[in-house]
Amino acid sequence: MSRREIREQIFKLLFRTEFYKEEDLQEQRQLFLDELGQEENEDTHYIQQKYEDILSHLAEIDAMVNEVALGWKTSRMGKVDLTLIRLAVYEMKFEEDVPQGVAINEAVELAKNYGTDDSSSFVNGILAKLT
């Protein structure tokens, strides 16, 4: 898989966390990986690891977003937008090998595909405040 495809799969897996209780997340992760239809390989291991890393930093990521999202709190944001913002903030703040511009651009592109008409500009606006 390309980096873009991997990022999209991480987004899809992370999106599931918005609909399930914490105790169900491990089962949801396994169901997601089964749906990918791939044997465990480097890509699926990377997807799982990054997903776990993002979840472990979720409170910190949400605090950063809430600090800059004037008039918006993560609890009010659309689930697609919030998931994309969380993924990009993680990449911007916790991954040294992902340039901030790449993290923002990838989130905006995914917002165009999965969000509403306003999602890409909303995601871009929030992420721009975190650079």
**Predicted confidence (pLDDT) per residue in 79-125, tens digit:** 999 999 999 999 999 999 999 999 999 999 999 999 999 999 999 99
The DSSP string of 67-113 is HH-TT--TTTS-HHHHHHHHHHHHHHHH-TTS-HHHHHHHHHHHHHH
Stated pTM of the model: 0.90
Residue spans per domain, the chain: 3-128
Whether pLDDT at 43 is above 80 = yes
The overall average pLDDT reported for the chain is: 91
Whether pLDDT at 24 is above 80 = yes
What sign for the dihedral angle of Cα 118, 123, 126, 127? negative
Read off the pLDDT band of 22 (50, 70, 90): confident
For 3-128, CATH number out of 1.10.940.10, 1.10.3720.10, 1.25.50.20, 3.30.460.20 equals 1.10.940.10
Note the pLDDT of residue 91: 96
